[in-house]
Structures are given as C-alpha cells and as structure tokens.
Structure 1
Amino acid sequence: MGYWFIIVMAVSSLLVLYLGWRLIEPLPLGRKRKLLLWFLLALLLFGHRLTWVLHRTNKYELTACDTIDWVGFTFLGFISILVVFMLARDVPSLLGKVGALLKRPFSHRLSRPLFAGPDRNRRRFLVNLSNGVFLAAAVPMAGFGVFNARRTPTVLPNEIPLPGLPGGLDGFTIAQISDTHIGPTIRAEWARRVTDAVNALSPDLIVHTGDLVDGSVDGLKTDILPLGDLSAPHGVWFCTGNHEYYSGVFEWLEETRRLGMR
C-alpha cells in the first residue's frame, strides 16, 4: 500500500496543480472564487481517498463509501478525458516555447523590437474559450463512459483455426470474461446479468482472465456471488490481474476457489 499510496497521491497532486493552473487561473474571477474552485478540485481528487480508511462495517459507512466512490470515480473519468484535450493543446505550445528559447542565442538580435509584446488578454480569452469547448466535449463522453461500463457486455464470437487440432476438440468453445471490475460502482445485479449471458452460450469451458474486482473480499463477497453460478463441462478457470493485487490477492484467490473457480 505504501508505494501505491505515494503514486496515487503524486498523480492527484499533479492533476490538481495542472488543472488549477490551466483551467482555474485564467478565469475572469476574483481571488476568493478561484481559491474556492481550487479547494473543490482538490476535495474531489483527494477526498476520494477517504474510502481507504473507512472499513464499511455498517450500512451508513457502506452508503458513504459507495457515494464517495461514485462521485470520485465518475469525476476522475471526466477529468481524464478533459486532461487529454488540454495536453493536446498545451504540449505543442510548450515545445514551441522551448524551441524558441533554444534558438534565441543563435538568432540575430535587432537593436529595437519590431513588434509589441504578447497580448495577454487575448491569450487568456483563447485559453478560456478552448477550455469551454473541452468541457462541453468531455461531459457527454464521460456520460457515455458510465453508460458503457454498466451495460451488459456484448458477446463477441471469434472462431480460431488451429492446424493439427485433434478431431475431438473441433468446435470446442471457450467463453472468456475479462476486466469485470466488480466494485463500488458495479454490483451484484450487473454480475448476475454477465453470468446469465455467459451461461446462455453453453460453452465447454469458461475462463476469467483477470481484474475480476476492485475492492476487498469483505466489501464485495455478496456482489461477487452471482459469478459462482457460472457453469461449464470443463470448468470455470481464473487468473489474477493487477487489480487483484491491489485488492488483496491471497484473500481473493481463496474466495474464487470457494466460488468454484480454478
């Protein structure tokens, strides 16, 4: 947890500083209002970490954690889209400035400037205008992301030809599930829909290829129960992903065995 905590807090700090500098500071607002926006930004990015110290031991704490996670993860998804747009604008500009600085010692210096200095008001207007466009584009994209994450996954058939395959295995079917991330925002109802969709395929074998969960066994053992109903003649198999290690890999290995996964 130590290294992971440091990485998460460092990334969150960089996001707060970058968004505050390029999104909040150019706004035509007074200092008090800007400080309020800085505070809200930091609260949304750092406040989400509060769930790390809450143990979900009662229904009130569980409700609080779920609410914080819903707000925090949705906001993080929105910010991730927004930052990509902003970096696509700012990185080329930064590289251009660095290039100009590097060329300055080798350029011919005039005795007096031919042009006036940069129009800061115009620059601020363009930054605010582009930020507005980015915000308007990021909102529906984040909304679609939430919808796409919570809908029942689409079944994608894929026929794999294998030269030399024994005749007895011709037509052998494997249902692969991956990255279900059952956790604070994806619960038992969604897991039940996935289980029913997979069982309806009547596969010969089922395999889950990692990132089953986002959270501890204590917090998710009820939500993961529907996956215990997965059934195939040659069994249900599971391999760990990185999120199992974030969430307590040894506890989850024991829990998946209890659910009938090998």
Structure 2
Amino acid sequence: MKKENLGRRDFLKKTTAAAFAFTIVPRHVLGGQGYTAPSNQLTKGIIGVGGMGRGHFDYEGTRLLAVCDVDKNHLDQAIALAGGKVSGYRDFRELIARPEIDVVHIATPPHWHGIMSKMAAEAGKDIWCEKPMTRTIGEGMKVVEAVQKTGRMFRLNTWFRFKDQFYGLGTTVKPLKKLVDSGVLGWPLKVTVSGITGYDWKFYWSGLHNLKPEPVPSELDYDFWLGPAPYKPYNVERVHSKFRGYWDYDGGGLGDMGQHYL
C-alpha cells in the first residue's frame, strides 16, 4: 500500500474535522458483500505493541493478522513475538484499512484513543480499547456517536470489574456490587479509594517540568507519537511508559488504575 504523504498537522486537521455494547461479532456473521471469512475466528490487529498491547496477542478464538507501532524497535519485537506471521505497520491507518480485520485493539497512549476508535468504527471495525476510553468527555462522546452511527461494537478494557477479586486487595467484588444494588446501604454512597496495593507506583507523579530537548531516537516517529497532542520537544522522560504524568497524554494514576476502582 502506498503511504500517503500527509503531514501530522494536516492529518490532524482532516481527522479531527471529520472527527456500547460489549460483544464483538465477526464480520462474516454480520455479512458484507463479497466477504468470506477463512474461519470462525475473529481476526484482529493491534495498535500499540510496546506494553499492554502485547497482552492482547493470545485471546481464545482470535487470530492476529497485524500489529502497528510508531517505534520500530517495539514493532520488530512484536512481530518476532508473533512468530513472524503478522504484518507490521508504522501508520495505524494502514492497519485499519485491512478489509479482512474484524477487530482493532487500541493500546496506545490515551491521547490517541479517541481518534483511533472513531476511525476504526468508521472503517467498519469493532474496537477493543485500553482504558481510559479517552482523555476528555468530549472525545468520548465522539467515539460513542461513531460507534452508534456505524453499528460497530466497542469494548473498554476495564477488566478488573469482570474479576471476582480486585488485584492486590483480596476484596470480593460481586457480593459487594449485589449489596449496593439491593439498596440496603441507601443512596448516594461515598466511595473512598485510599490505595491500590501493587500499583502504587502508577500514582506517583512522573511529570517533570522544564525538560531539556533531546535528539529523537531514529527508531521513533515522534511526530506520529505526539499526534493530536500539543508539540513539545522530545525527551525520554515524556514518552512510552513515562507519559502518564502529563495531561497532554493521559490523566495520571486516577485516569489509569484509579478508574478500575471508581
């Protein structure tokens, strides 16, 4: 596929201007002119494979076809992890354009979630998105609108709520929810989250001020990593696992692990 020569800001202008059910259905079940699925497996592509995205590789009943990352090192490692049997892309638009992909998994930093989810829905894909859904309420509303308009399925990966116990706390969730739903405790309730054992490090402030500009590593497409975020000179303390401490990209510990509990 010929890659469109489109600058980051031009791309953002176009996508932003253009730009919930919890079951994912294979494309061949929903139908589609001239489309025949090779099997009953869901086919998927994953965007963002430097961290959480690698946890999306092996789901029962799915077949991974493609991975995407703006960091070539992450991309090469992910392809190797998949046994070299998947396609690799630096530009997520190329992955979304694959007609044989049923589901797009989004595991990028949150400042990209809204645009990618909206574009995936408009391309006819179902979506499995890491939390948080988006950085802002407005972005989230755009995603909901796109999903409802296109009839696609959206799953937010707040997986703690589907477990019998919260990680690290030993707290049994389902009986507590049943108690709250019964109304015995009254309404409204005040919920205080005082700590998350085992994940404390995610709540420490990692954002640093006055970071000095550093050379961008050759393997990283930093312009594409920034995407819709305001431009800031590259510094290793701003990207990859360090991004959570910056409002431009995420919402800190509360927007990350905190939402599981709240």
Q: Normalised by the shorter chain, which TM-score bucket? A: under 0.3
TM-score normalised by L of structure 2: 0.22
Larger radius of gyration between Structure 1 and Structure 2: 1
Q: Which has the higher helix share?
A: 1
Considering Cα pairs closer than 8 Å and 6+ residues apart, tell me whether 1 or 2 has the greater RCO: 2
TM-score normalised by L of structure 1: 0.22
